[in-house]
Amino acid sequence: MISKEEASCLFYCKSYEESNVKTCLEYIEESPDVELCYTNNPEDPMLICRSRIYGSRVYKLYKHKRELDEEAAKTIEAATREDKEDLMFENDSQIVEFLNHIYRPKEEYLFDSRYKLMSVHDKDILSVIWKFTSKFDKKGLLGFSQWLNKNNVDLTSTEPVRKITKTSTEIRARFRQLNVLHNVDYVSVAEDILQVLPNHHKIIKDLKEDGYQVVGYSRKSVVASENRVSCLQRMVNILYSRSLVDKVFVSPCSSTKQRFVKRDSGDNDEILSQLNNVHGNTVDFLSFLKNNSKVCVVAIDYAGLTTNVSDLKILLSENPSLKKVIIDEYFYENHFKYFDNYQLLNNPMDLKAFHCRSKPKQRGK
């Protein structure tokens, strides 16, 4: 939102300077029956009769710069209050999901009364997300705008409108027309997003109470890597902490499409010996499936298990003990995908989800 001072300069096509602000506001005050206002676009100010403004919901009044600064200060203060710490997002995927809930592109014709079409600056969006994350505390507006585009947040599909007033000093402004959720719902949206991991933990605990052996599986590409051990150890640690697994099996050097029965046929004991809390390689994993009746395997991303759909089908068919598969996409998408043996063997669309890798992902997050 721009201030009344800036809007007055825009209206009279003056550069935004202190001397011009004083002059422009004096012009407006000389006509006590009119007031500076706007409809949808704050960068398109107009002078309208006061009685008409107050008798209609179409027109919106500007706030003075002092008022906007005070509101911004309150927002920053709220973002750092201790009582907000339990609503702090942990990763980019949660921030993206939150913004996708709050701001919807103008092109979407929403019939939800909680949303209102508004002109929104990136700084307005930043002031909202500040309440729920410390990620942007040291970022400027440009850095935040670049982050929005890099992460393909839905609102970026609406192109920002730029208006330039060409005077001795150019005034550049950009905003988007977006459907914005009423702010009373922001906290509940954040709570739902932050509930994903606790809900996942409950599912895992329920499986264990039902007699399941919950194990993790992790693999690292055959591509040469100087930090193979540290990357594998991070994935192992994540499987224990995020999915509460009882054991983890590791394939230190295999491709994502390589058949399970062909993995780890060579000597990789040296790598395994450097890892903590690991219970063997793929050969040991297959043996574990043969010796247990109810197993759930968790992998970080589909590629952490396999993208060879036909071989996954063979694995499930030959090992009915592997009753459930969970794919951890918490870091990338803020969710977990849950499959069972029958579902994957009898629903080609679910099985096809594993044939999905378009580019490498960091599974150590």
CATH code of the domain covering residue 311: 3.40.50
Whether residue 173 sits in one domain with residue 200: no
Work out the average pLDDT over 87-106.
93
Work out the average pLDDT over 23-34.
90
Whether residue 321 sits in one domain with residue 205: yes
Q: What pLDDT shows up at residue 172?
A: 57
Whether residue 86 sits in one domain with residue 58: no
Residue entry with tokens 């399970």: 260
Residue 148 located in a structural domain: yes
Overall residue count recorded for the chain in this entry: 365
Whether residue 338 sits in one domain with residue 200: yes
Q: What pLDDT shows up at residue 292?
A: 96
Rounded distance between C-alpha atoms, residue 36 and residue 48, angstroms = 7
Q: What pLDDT shows up at residue 85?
A: 46
Q: What pLDDT shows up at residue 113?
A: 84
Q: What is the CA radius of gyration of the chain?
A: 28
Residue 233 located in a structural domain: yes
- Residue 292 and residue 284 in contact, taking contact as beta carbons nearer than 8 Å: no
**pLDDT above 50: residue 359:** yes
Work out the average pLDDT over 106-110.
80
Whether residue 94 sits in one domain with residue 13: no
Residue 139 located in a structural domain: yes
Mean pLDDT of the chain: 88
Q: What pLDDT shows up at residue 86?
A: 62
Residue 361 located in a structural domain: no
Q: What pLDDT shows up at residue 2?
A: 82
With a CB cutoff of 8 Å and minimum separation 6, the contacts of 345 are 313, 316, 317, 351
What pTM, to 2 d.p., does this model score?
A: 0.69
Whether residue 148 sits in one domain with residue 208: no
Tally of domains in the chain: 3
Residue 68 located in a structural domain: no
Q: How confident is the model at residue 257 (pLDDT cuts 50, 70, 90)?
A: very high
Distances (CA, A) of 170 to 10, 41, 47, 160: 10, 19, 22, 18
Rounded distance between C-alpha atoms, residue 193 and residue 172, angstroms = 36
Residue 339 located in a structural domain: yes
Work out the average pLDDT over 169-173.
55
Work out the average pLDDT over 351-360.
74
Whether residue 218 sits in one domain with residue 261: yes
**pLDDT above 90: residue 237:** yes
Whether residue 85 sits in one domain with residue 24: no
Work out the average pLDDT over 197-205.
96
Work out the average pLDDT over 210-236.
92
Whether residue 97 sits in one domain with residue 45: no
Whether residue 280 sits in one domain with residue 258: yes
- Residue 349 identity: M
**pLDDT above 60: residue 225:** yes
> Given the DSSP bridges, would you call strands 46-49 and 34-38 parallel, antiparallel or unpaired?
antiparallel
Per-residue pLDDT tens for 320-332? 999 999 999 998 8
Residue entry with tokens 């046929």: 265
Q: Which residue has the higher pLDDT, 185 or 174?
A: 185
**pLDDT above 90: residue 222:** no
Q: Which residue has the higher pLDDT, 358 or 66?
A: 66
- Coil, strand or helix at 295: strand
Identify the domain containing residue 340 by its residue range.
196-352
Work out the average pLDDT over 328-353.
93
Whether residue 339 sits in one domain with residue 203: yes
